[in-house]
Structure 1
Amino acid sequence: MLRPTRSNLRPTGSSSYSPLSCTSQQCTSLSPNYKCGRNKACIYEALYWDNSASIGEFATETVSFGSSGSVQKVAIGCGHENQGRFGKAAGILGLGGTAVGIPSQIQAKSFSYYLVDLDSSSSSTLEFNSAPPGDSILIPLIMNLKSEIYYYVELTGITINGEQMPIPASDYQIGEDRRGGIIVDSGTTISALPAQVYNSVRDTFVKYAKNLPPAGAVGDLDTCYDLSSMPTRDGFPMISFQFFGGKTLPLKPQNYLFRAGSGGTFCLAFKTTSQSVSIIGNTQQQGFQVTYDLANKMFGFRPNQC
């Protein structure tokens, strides 16, 4: 059961903090995920794919970016009731494609991040207005007018040890009704696929992972292994994503096996989804410099670079 926590943050300590009215343009752009609070204050309600949630006051504030300067009157959420799998995170940064997304508010033409492994003692990085490195794997970034907050890609297939999953490409694509498709999301840990796609990936992975010692399921992760004594490299299957234009993104074991708990149990970092959209989560993005080139509508994946 997810239990809500209350924030002790005191925004009155900031001279530049200014609550937004529920009739303001910034607030109404959140529709339908807002309501009017006391004195017509804008109250946002953010719900995430993994059932995490944040509720609080929508306001403007001066946001500083290290030694790069600051931007005034950026609309942000001050979360008072938060629940879910935020772990040790200090907060959530909205990088979506809407008018109140941080890239739009600071007029960034691109952003990129490098996500370190969950077990790493190093820090992840985030940069704005940086071009994709020349050795990046570049694929088209697709915007869905029905869901402007998300960034879509055209996944054409998944292979395991060179075996193509017997799934039509249409299962990964946005339909004529603007539903479906697959998004890249830094805020989702476990990738989500339609049942028929997941079942094919899981069954094929199990076939090629016979040298990995099996372990019991952990929650909704049903394909798990005891890796407390790590097997040789040969015991791990090779998984690759295929994208539009024949581009291939090979994944390492840390990109498809998720540590479930503090022990040696690792689970396949995919699960089924009842939503119409599929998700490439952050486990698949660890160890890559991922660039969102908003101006040129391109994604860049650069492996093994920090």
Structure 2
Amino acid sequence: MAEKGALLCFISALFFSSAFSRSLLHGSKTTVLDVSASIQKTLDVLSFDPQTETFQDLKTTTTTTTTTSSSSSSSFTLQLQSRDAIHKSSHRDYKSLFLARLERDSARVRSLNAKLDLAVRGIKRSDLKPVDTDGYEAKVEDLAGPIVSGMSQGSGEYFSRVGIGRPPKSQYMVIDTGSDVSWVQCAPCSDCYDQADPIYEPSSSSSYSPLTCDTQQCSSLDVSACRNGSCLYQVSYGDGSFTVGDFVTESLSFGNSGSVDKIALGCGHDNEGLFVGASGLLGLGGGSLSFPSQIKASSLSYCLVDRDSSSSSTLEFDSPEPADAVTAPLLRNRQVDTFYYVGLSGLSVGDQMLSIPPSSFAMDEAGNGGVIVDSGTSVTRLQTDMYNTLRDAFVKGTSGLPATSGVALFDTCYDLSSKKSVEVPTVAFHFPGGKSLPLPAKNYLVPVDSSGRFCFAFAPTSSAMSIIGNIQQQGTRVGFDLGNSVVAFSANKC
């Protein structure tokens, strides 16, 4: 009798295990998009009032230990907010807002590719013409250099609150993993764009200190010049935007997380172009002048909230990696140390791996190709052949959805106005060692208006370099373990 009971238990367990396996398989094949909730967010973002401040303002004093740029970093945490949560949109409808985002995004991608192309071809600063900086009294004729970031400031979609100087003055800063040089608009302004906070006044800070031309920080700039022994900087962007001013060191404060002294950054007196809302930029790239490099951070991580949400998340330095993180190799390009490359091995739609050879994701000896993870690019760009394979598989899996005309750079769109929710094939990134990161449906099927038109949020690129953008990163904590060369993806860790 006991043997019969044991057998029944074994059969039941086997049946349950089989059913559970089928459930997991089904869950990995498809995922559900909440159409109604997505459309509601497009309406909410236009009515959101950024005057209802969600960031805690910085205090003029801090009780935590201050570190210097020459020491190991402490654990810093900053709040992150989407662009539209602090800068009220002037757009009357969501479609025009979305198209403006895509236009900024395209300018950024062109600049990222231009930066890499110049580096791979070995073009030096002296080979390029200077940006016209009329109006800035410290202008010098030998300011010339490559496009160094790909960040037209208007495309900055995520901001952090940073205290500049001592006592600290709160400023909204764009966070950018595609840039190294941090900078802030400074008085006196030859030409400054509108920003949410008062222009930073260096004379009010006891920690402000100009850098001389013979310092390592000055010589590390892509574009620099001298005036009366002081270092000048220039950062130019792909759309013609630029910032020019004095290269200095300052104290940066991070709310209750503490502060750090002697951070090299630009004090911009002439800042022109598509700069909107933020006071400047916090460079999080891999170069020697980036903020993580200057504080000798062993890791950094961020989680990007939905851009159509007023909620916030965090940017963290030297915080522990979540135990359930999906990890992949962190690769570097010896031609451009700014970018963070990830070892991607494949893509899948549903439970089917796509016929894309792993070599398509690789970087060659010259520095061409590869896949970067970028916080400032919105839409993931894939080489055209890869994109076509991915798109065709997705279209095949969504044959029951009503197709509609494309929008801007999106060629695969659907009319979901009559749906409350839809089930779509799961798209997943695959990494060496059999690891994978399935994406939520809202991270690749996005609304482009408030009427129910949704588009597949990937795009082709003629460049050899592919980019994982922030739409695909939303809701996932992305960590860069700089010491161990690992990229970690942790779903739902905002």
Q: Which TM-score bucket, shorter chain as reference?
A: 0.7 to 0.9
Letter in 1 for 2:220: S
Percent of counterpart pairs with the same letter? 46
Residue 374 of structure 2 corresponds to which residue in structure 1? 185
**What's 2:476 paired with?**
288
1:146-172 superposed Cα distances (whole Å, 9 cap, x missing partner): 221111111111111122222211110
**1:239 to 1:17, Cα distance in 2 relative to 1, 3 A:** same
SS in 2 for 1:148: strand
Q: 1:22 to 1:217 in 2, by over 3 A?
A: farther
When residues 291 and 218 of structure 1 are mapped into structure 2, their CA distance, relative to the original with a 3 A threshold, is same
Q: Offset of 1:231 from its aligned partner?
A: 4.7
1:143 match: secondary structure: strand
8 A Cα contact 2:263 2:294, kept in partner? yes
Secondary structure in structure 1 of the residue aligned to 2:337: coil
Structure 1 distance, partners of 2:429, 2:388, is 16
Q: Distance in 2 between matches of 1:258 and 1:82?
A: 32
* 1:41-78 deviation digits (Å, cap 9, x = unpaired): 52321436xx5844233432211011121111212234
- Contact 1:59–1:75, Cα closer than 8 Å, also in 2: yes
Contact 1:131 1:293 in 2 (8 A): no
Q: How does 1:230-269 map to 2 (within 5 A)?
A: 230-234=419-423, 236-261=424-449, 264-269=452-457
1:106 paired residue number: 295
CA offset at residue 200 of structure 1? 1.3
Change (3 A) 1:264 1:30: farther
Q: Which runs of 5+ in 1 are unaligned?
A: none
Cα distance in 2 for partners of 1:139, 1:206 equals: 28
Secondary structure at 1:305 match in 2: coil
Return the alpha-carbon distance in structure 1 between the equivalents of residues 267 and 447 of structure 2: 31
1:91-126: CA deviations, max 9, x gaps?
Answer: 432111111111111111111111111122211211
- Residue from 189, 208, 213 that aligns with 1:17: 208
Structure number having the greater helix percentage: 2
The corresponding residue for 1:203 is 392
Q: 174-183 vs 71-80, which deviates more?
A: 71-80
In 1, the alpha carbon distance for the partners of 2:402 and 2:271 equals 41
Q: Secondary structure at the match of 1:59?
A: strand
**In structure 2, C-alpha distance between the alignment counterparts of 1:14 and 1:219, rounded to whole Å:** 46
Aligned to 2:233: 43
Partner in structure 2 of residue 277 of structure 1 = 465
Shift of 1:208: 1.4
1:59 matched to 2:248? yes
Name the structure 2 match of 1:7.
Answer: 193
**Contact in 1 for aligned 2:328/2:344 (Cα 8 Å):** no
- State the match for 1:299 in structure 2: 487
Q: 1:205 to 1:54 in 2, by over 3 A?
A: farther
Partner secondary structure for residue 142 of structure 1: strand
Q: Give the aligned length.
A: 300
Q: What is the CA-CA distance between 1:257 and the residue it aligns to?
A: 2.5
Deviations 1:12-35 (A, max 9, x none): 35423344456543233232xx24
SS of 2:442's partner is helix
| 2:444 maps to amino acid | Y
- The correspondence for 2:217, drawn from 26, 36, 41, is 26
The residue identity in structure 1 corresponding to 2:232 is C
Distance 2:249 2:419 in 1: 49
Q: Structure 1 residues 209-218 or 108-117, which shifts more? A: 209-218
* Kept after mapping to 2: 8 A contact 1:161/1:238: yes
Of residues 3-12 and 73-82 in structure 1, the stretch that sits farther from structure 2 once superposed is: 3-12
Q: Report what 1:118 is aligned to.
A: 307
User: In structure 2, how many angstroms separate the alpha carbons of the residues matched to 1:266 and 1:285?
Assistant: 18
How far apart are the structure 2 equivalents of 1:83 and 1:191?
Answer: 25
In structure 2, how many angstroms separate the alpha carbons of the residues matched to 1:223 and 1:59? 48
**Distance change >3 Å, CA 219–CA 59, structure 1 → 2:** farther
Q: Distance in 2 between matches of 1:25 and 1:249?
A: 40
Q: Distance in 2 between matches of 1:228 and 1:13?
A: 56
Q: Distance in 1 between matches of 2:219 and 2:213?
A: 7
Structure 2: stretches of 5+ with no match in the other structure:
1-102, 105-151, 155-190
Does the residue aligned with 1:300 lie in a helix, a strand or coil?
Answer: strand
Mapped to 2, the partners of 1:91 and 1:212 lie a distance apart of 43
Deviation of 1:128 after TM superposition, in Å, equals: 0.7
Equivalent position of 2:176 in the other structure: none
CA contact (8 A) 2:379 2:459 kept: yes
Indicate which of 120, 126, 135 corresponds to 2:324. Answer: 135
Instruction: Indicate how the Cα distance of structure 1 residues 164 and 89 shifts in structure 2: closer, same or farther if over 3 A, else same.
Output: farther
Q: Which has the higher contact order (CA 8 A, sep 6+)?
A: 2
Q: Which moved more, 1:224-233 or 1:281-290?
A: 224-233
Give deviations 1:175-212, integer Å, cap 9, x for gaps: 12222110111111111111111111122212212233
Amino acid at match of 1:110: S
Whole-angstrom distance in 2 between the partners of 1:112 and 1:177: 29
Q: Per the alignment, do residues 62 and 255 of structure 1 end up closer, same or farther by CA in structure 2, a change over 3 Å counting?
A: same
Q: 1:143 to 1:14 in 2, by over 3 A?
A: farther
Deviates more, 1:56-65 or 1:179-188: 56-65
Local SS of the residue matching 2:248: strand
